[in-house]
A and B are shown apart, each in its own frame.
Chain A
Amino acid sequence: MKYLQDIGSYFLMLKRVFTGFTKTSVLKHLIFKEINDLIISSLGIVAFISFFVGGVVAIQTALNMDNPIIPDSLIGFATRQSVILEFAPTFISIIMAGKVGSFITSSIGSMRVTEQIDALEVMGINSLNYLVFPKIVALMFYPFVIVLSMFLGILGGWVAGVYGGFTSSSDFIAGVQEDFIPYQLFYAFFKTFVFAFILATVPSWQGFYMKGGALEVGKASTNSFVWTSVLIIAANYIITQLLLSS
């Protein structure tokens, strides 16, 4: 019963987020601030993880290829497919659920605990629009993070493959270009947008409706990570089934 109530309150929250808009000049300022907090500040960790995981994918593929019939270009092909289809959109989103999701929940939760949200409401400001809408807009730039992750993942694979002595540069690049299907990029970016929406709204809901003090802010942040991850995984499955299965 509580889960049904929670789902209901999540959708009611969304309704309020998109009504009673804050003054445009203020909103513009908030959106730029959120782009900095949520997108720009995540680039470092995303770049680091993408580069090294891409490298690991290339090494793992190379080490598991003991059949001489399989061409070396498979290393590049497998790295591209793994990075573009799953690693960059899904795995990075799970990491972002921990980084950005916890940040959103704890910042909104702290505002709840210290009555800052009440202060907004008393002033006649739609606090949900003021707090959540800029986060949704900012996270619509999230695909740029994923593009960076895709590029660095494949670059990491190339560096590990070539400099690790597993393949030649030309074989790796030939593998990256082999059987490229543009629709798979559409699939990857479509789910990135869905994950971005989940990343902005689920942690906001956790923070906005939390009750209690500092301890509960911590609990809400943990719940936020768990539920955001669960929803991203579930959405990933559904989207993959809908868009890729024939």
Chain B
Amino acid sequence: MIKVEDVHKSFGDEEILKGITTEFDKGKTNLIIGQSGSGKTVLLKCLIGLFKPEQGRIYYEDKAIQDMDDEQQRKLREEIGMLFQGGALFDSMNIEENVMFPLRMFTKQKKADMVARVNEVLKRVNLENVNKKFPAEISGGMQKRVSIARAIVNKPKFLFCDEPNSGLDPKTATLIDTLIQEITHEYDITTVVVTHDMNSVMEIGEKVVLLKHGKLVWQGTNQEIFKTDNEDVTSFVYSSDLFKKIREVQLKEG
């Protein structure tokens, strides 16, 4: 579980996060949604420690990052898996080396054991026979799956995903969403996904947090999001024609 308490973050004079307080539950896919510029990626980067909030506290299982020394923070990061928007695979390494990277850095396993674990996670993300290929030689969807494999290879307790299905076709996007949710349940980890994709909200939004202009304006489940009368939610959710029509049908049917 991750708890966020009154987090503020500014860049220069511009305040990006204005006192975010929420909780991300263990064993669930927690979604941070909002329009571009609402501060969701900044919040994610505060959660993973790439940005330091000026005010507020972030707790990982009751221990605040702010109270951790460098060694404790390093240990915590070993328990974090991250899926970046573009995959962030290392260009100079092949797929096997990319996935094996966290094992090489943080474990003392034998090479054969590491290769076996790499094959296991690659199989889990439905990728086989790509071990010796380089990131540039596989598709965007495959790169995302390799990135997921790398994120889970060291059995993390926390998984963060930054717009995991951006740039993917709808079918592959759904595959990635489903994979993230299955892995969350299978490993019983705390997953936080930043997205503005309403399909993702519908598919995997077990907990949804809506940000607007750096403020948390609503939180609930993907079931509740279509029932609420909250204006910020309705203006975000029903901004596309498809969802507008769904809304009209919903209203007609009472």
Cross-chain pair count, CB within 8 angstroms: 54
B48 touches A122 (CB 8 A): yes
Assembled-state Cα–Cα distance A58/B73 (Å): 61
Stretch at the interface among B81-89, B200-208, B238-246: B81-89
Chain B hits for A121, CB < 8 A: 49-50
B interface footprint on A90-130 (CB within 8 Å = 1, 0 otherwise): 00000000000000000000110011101101111100000
A119 touches B105 (CB 8 A): no
B80 touches A122 (CB 8 A): yes
A26 touches B104 (CB 8 A): yes
Assembled-state Cα–Cα distance A82/B211 (Å): 66
CB contact under 8 A between A119 and B78, given known A26-B104, A26-B105, A110-B91: no
| Chain B interface helix/strand/loop/mixed | mixed
Assembled-state Cα–Cα distance A22/B105 (Å): 8
Chain A residue with Cβ nearest B85: A115
Among A116, A118, A122, the residue within 8 A (CB) of B90 is A116
B88 touches A115 (CB 8 A): yes
A122 touches B77 (CB 8 A): yes
A119 to chain B minimum Cβ distance, whole angstroms, is 4
A125 touches B88 (CB 8 A): no
Does A23 belong to the interface (CB within 8 Å)?
Answer: yes
A115 touches B84 (CB 8 A): yes
Instruction: Name the residue in B86, B88, B92 with the highest tally of chain A Cβ atoms < 10 Å from its Cβ.
Output: B88
A129 to chain B minimum Cβ distance, whole angstroms, is 12
B114 to chain A minimum Cβ distance, whole angstroms, is 12
**Residues on B close to A: CB < 8 A?**
48-50, 73-78, 80, 82, 84-86, 88-92, 101-102, 104-106, 160
3 closest pairs, A vs B, by CB?
A124-B77, A115-B88, A119-B88
**Residues on A close to B: CB < 8 A?**
22-23, 25-26, 33, 110-111, 114-116, 118-119, 121-125
18 A–B contacts, CB within 8 A, in A order = A23-B105, A114-B86, A114-B88, A115-B85, A118-B84, A118-B88, A119-B82, A119-B84, A121-B49, A122-B48, A122-B49, A122-B80, A122-B160, A123-B82, A123-B102, A124-B73, A124-B75, A124-B76
